[in-house]
Structure 1
Amino acid sequence: MTLRFAGVDPNTGKDESPMVWVDDAKRELVVQGLKPGEDLLTEIGTTEWVPGHSVGTPDHENVTRIPLRMAQVIRKALDDAERDGLL
């Protein structure tokens, strides 16, 4: 796996996250973030967000919270991926 670091939450502490990487080989963003609280997992598990799509979080998936202040980091990761012909 080839991960390129794109950025970290500007308000993070030394031992914390969220962070964003670009995986060149898989053409994906990789995001490390804050675990959701039970209230969010319950809401996701009971709300049909997309008509016809199953609700909840399958065992092979995860939910991560990313602060909106990281918008510039995510944009940079996408811009870098587009510049490198990954998009």
Structure 2
Amino acid sequence: MALLFIGIDPHSEEDKCPAAWVDTEMKGEPDIIFQGWLADEETQAECRKNSHHPDDEAVIRMPYRMIDIIRKACDAAEQAAVGDL
């Protein structure tokens, strides 16, 4: 596995670091990996109204200030999919 580190929350507290990576070895459809805060039960219940998540999935919360980093992760995944990374 080759994870390309994209970025970390620039305002993160120690040991609470939302971050993003791209798995660059997954040709065709690279995965974007997020580390974020687990959503509380109320948020998870609201999300389940639209999409049930099984035991191997989680609802995570990413701060607004991560938008630029998430965009970079999307761009990197797109580049990896076409082999430009």
Normalised-by-shorter TM-score class: 0.7 to 0.9
Q: Which has the larger radius of gyration?
A: 1
1:34 counterpart residue number: 37
Unaligned 5+ segments in structure 2 are none
Structure 1 Cα separation of the partners of residues 59 and 83 of structure 2 = 24
Write out aligned runs for 1:1-87 (5 A). 1-26=1-26, 27-45=30-48, 47=49, 49=50, 55-84=51-80, 85=82
How many pairs are equivalent?
Answer: 80
Post-superposition offset of 1:73: 0.3
Q: Is the 8 A contact 2:32 2:77 kept in 1?
A: no
Instruction: Please report the TM-score for the alignment, with normalisation by the length of structure 1.
Output: 0.78
Instruction: Please report the TM-score for the alignment, with normalisation by the length of structure 2.
Output: 0.79
Q: Is the 8 A contact 2:6 2:72 kept in 1?
A: yes
